[in-house]
């Protein structure tokens, strides 16, 4: 029996500010009875009817509203949900993901309406210099799938900006929804049935499985994530994906660093 009723695949972008309308931000929804379809910003965020594309703030507010009382939903977003263990050790931070989100937002307030990542990187705003990372540091999940470091800026295929802009919105969702939303795997590897789940995804793991029918790469990635999650749930595979094969030490590290669903 499927664990979820709805699946939201979100392709993310760290460009511009949280209120800018960006073509790199795409939301696709699937249900048990329907294959993924695009959720337009005017459909999902009534407060933003004149914008052509989503904004990061708009997506966060949409999720906070939809997951409050809506159907049991699995949300997949393609940015890093945490940082490598080396980052925590370098900055003498407690091995606590929730405290990490607070600390990060204090130094990298990328959820402020006017804020761009480069304002903080260049020392104009925030206090990013006190919480910098190293592009040689990679999480276990990134090592496993060959993905770039969350600190590897200014290169093709980088997730650094999307991660640095997305983290404060995870904190926002935690504040808005509390324990109604399971942050995987930080709240535990196996989510409680009946509770909505938000997880990190890596579209490259599944986007070759479904042909692109004339849409942008951003739309295709969001579509593929939603379709893969739906297909996996219908096939009864999600339980296994929620509990990846890791040693006890790897599992402990991944609870802090995060993991990629399906890896």
**206-256 residue pLDDT tens:** 999 999 999 999 999 999 999 999 999 999 999 999 999 999 999 999 999
The two structure tokens encoding residue 45: 């965020």
Backbone dihedral angles phi then psi of residue 7, each to the nearest 5 degrees: -135, 125
Q: Which residue has the tokens 């935690």?
A: 174
Q: Which residues pair with 38 in a beta bridge?
A: 28
Task: Give 178's DSSP letter.
Answer: G
Mean of pLDDT values over 22-40: 97
The overall average pLDDT reported for the chain is 95
Predicted model pTM: 0.96
Residue 8 to residue 235: CA distance in whole angstroms: 18
pLDDT at 233: 98
Q: Which residue has the tokens 């931070």?
A: 93
């Amino acid at each position: 029996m499927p664990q979820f009723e709805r699946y939201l695949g979100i392709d993310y972008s760290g460009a511009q500010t949280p209120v800018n309308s960006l073509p790199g931000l795409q939301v696709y929804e699937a249900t048990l009875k329907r294959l993924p379809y695009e959720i337009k910003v005017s459909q999902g965020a009534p407060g933003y009817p004149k914008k052509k594309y989503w904004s990061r703030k708009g997506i966060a507010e949409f999720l906070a509203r939809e997951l409050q009382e809506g159907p049991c939903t699995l949300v997949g977003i393609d940015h890093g949900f945490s940082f490598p263990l080396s980052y925590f050790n370098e900055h003498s931070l407690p091995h606590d993901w929730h405290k990490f989100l607070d600390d990060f937002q204090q130094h990298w307030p990328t959820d402020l309406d006017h804020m761009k990542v480069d304002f903080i990187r260049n020392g104009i705003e925030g206090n990013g210099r006190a919480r910098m990372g190293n592009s040689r540091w990679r999480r276990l999940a990134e090592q496993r799938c060959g993905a770039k470091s969350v600190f590897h800026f200014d290169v093709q295929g980088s997730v650094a900006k999307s991660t640095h802009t997305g983290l404060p919105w995870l904190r926002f969702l935690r504040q808005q929804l509390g324990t109604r939303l399971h942050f995987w795997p930080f709240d535990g590897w196996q989510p409680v049935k009946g509770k909505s789940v938000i997880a990190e995804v890596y579209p490259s793991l599944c986007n070759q499985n479904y042909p692109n029918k004339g849409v942008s790469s951003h739309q295709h990635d969001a579509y593929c994530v939603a379709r893969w999650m739906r297909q996996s749930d219908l096939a009864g595979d999600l339980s296994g994906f929620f509990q990846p094969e890791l040693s006890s030490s790897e599992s402990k590290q991944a609870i802090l660093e995060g993991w990629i669903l399906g890896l």
